[in-house]
């Protein structure tokens, strides 16, 4: 498990809307049972009025996904699906989105 890695959503009830869960928790906390994730949704399913800073776009295999920062959640690490992608190249956009949620800037 690693910070800024996306995992396949193992939940069949939410997998179409949120095919990936982005782990944002620091690797320093890897011993905890839970981790903090942000769901990724196909951009074509995201609201037309998503905010660029709050909801950056990430490209995975040539497809656009929207980071649904406002839907941040804690999950049990054992419930995460298979690690699919390392998205650390989007670190600055993800951190900026989290800053926007916390401070409004």
List the CATH number of the domain containing 54: 2.30.30.110
Whole-model pTM: value is: 0.92
pLDDT, tens only, 39-82:
999 999 987 766 789 999 999 999 999 999 999 999 999 999 78
pLDDT band at 90 (very low <50, low <70, confident <90, very high): very high
Q: How far is CA 25 from CA 2, 30, 87, in A?
A: 8, 8, 13
pLDDT at 104: 86
Q: What is the mean pLDDT of the chain?
A: 92
Specify the number of domains making up the chain: 1
What is the three-class DSSP state of 64?
strand
Q: Cβ atoms within 10 A of the Cβ of 17, count? A: 14
**Distance from C-alpha of 30 to C-alpha of 12, rounded to nearest angstrom:** 26
**Could you tell me the residue range of the domain that residue 86 belongs to?**
5-103
């Amino acid at each position: 498990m690693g910070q800024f890695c996306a995992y396949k959503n193992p939940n069949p009830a939410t997998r179409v809307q949120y095919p990936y869960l982005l782990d944002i928790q620091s690797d320093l906390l890897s011993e905890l049972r839970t981790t903090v994730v942000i769901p990724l949704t196909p951009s074509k399913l995201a609201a037309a009025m998503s905010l660029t800073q709050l909801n950056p776009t990430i490209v995975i295999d040539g497809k656009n996904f929207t980071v649904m920062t406002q839907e941040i959640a804690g999950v049990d690490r054992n419930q995460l699906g298979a690690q699919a992608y390392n998205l650390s190249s989007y670190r600055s956009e993800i951190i900026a989105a989290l800053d926007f949620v916390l401070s409004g800037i």
